[in-house]
Amino acid sequence: MWHGMEGIGWGWLGLGFLHMVVFWGLVILAFAGLFKWLGGGSLAESSAMDILKARYAKGELTREQFEQLKREIGAPGN
């Protein structure tokens, strides 16, 4: 029954496995790029504001310094 396919058995199986690995690798890279692109917009601003709030909470900054730095980074009035 299988005598007509003697030359193409295991070679095509290995090539199919390689295609599967490449496909899933590209899918994973696409999702990683999408998450980085979607999450990268306001990360720096919120991080700067978090640092500023932490320094104010520790007493490293006066109220005037805090307000001035907040205006400089362009943070909304919280």
pLDDT tens digits, residue range 26-70?
999 999 888 887 876 554 556 888 889 999 999 999 999 999 999
Helices (H) and strands (E) in the chain, counts: 3, 0
Say what the pLDDT of residue 76 is: 66
Closest CA to 46 of 78, 7, 6: 78
Q: Where are the domains of the chain?
A: 9-40, 42-78
Residue 10 CA to residue 65 CA, distance in Å, equals 71
Report how far Cα 31 is from the mean position of its chain's Cα atoms.
Answer: 9
